[in-house]
Amino acid sequence: MKKFLKAVGFGMLSHIVFIWTVGWFFSNKADVIAIGMLVGFGVFIFFLLKKEKKKEIEVKQDVKIKYLVEEFEIVVTGSFHKSKQGLERQELIKDLEVFAPLKFQKEPTNEYDPNAILVLNSDNNDIGYVRKSDTKLLHEYLNDDYFVEAYVKKKYRVDGGKGIVAYVDVREYRN
């Protein structure tokens, strides 16, 4: 019913506006009224047949919002070694663009450092490790309570190769 009344209202309004504006140019008022009625009827049909976009709002009671907890930069090391997949890390780093997303993975079975954090590109190839002095910053946030987002901030030259500085944004989920 609401849709019908809306269509009638717009049809009548367009009819009145059309007659008022076009009526100044025609001497035969019957022609103006007939044309105006056709325009008004056309607008009426348009609004009657027009599908209304319905907004569906899904309400979840367990909504979690990400609040910024900390932001910092880390240095990626180990770029001169091969990745676990057998790829040259320098080649993987060369293919990375600034602002390319990065991921982190704890590596408690690492034979050199049980707190080691592996750095992965978007294809899940490891490109190095978080520098040991930076692992303390990041280690506590790598769990389900936090959302860690990282990207390549800059690449730099290191003794004939390339290194990476990554920007890390840590957010906490809260209800």
Give residue 96's domain range: 65-174
Per-residue exposure over 126-147, b if at least 16 CB sit within 10 Å of its own CB, e if not: bbbbbbeebbebbeebbeeebb
Number of H helices, E strands in the chain: 4, 6
Report the number of distinct structural domains present in the chain: 2
Q: How many CB atoms lie within 10 A of CB 28?
A: 8
pLDDT at 126 over 70: yes
CA distance 45 to 32: 20
Do both 35 and 87 map to the same domain?
A: no
CA-only gyration radius of the chain, Å: 32
- Model-level pTM greater than 0.75? no
What CATH number does residue 83 fall under?
A: 3.30.70.2330
pLDDT for res 147 = 84
Do both 73 and 10 map to the same domain?
A: no
Do both 79 and 135 map to the same domain?
A: yes
CA distance 99 to 106: 22
Residue 87: pLDDT band with limits 50, 70, 90: very high
Do both 95 and 152 map to the same domain?
A: yes
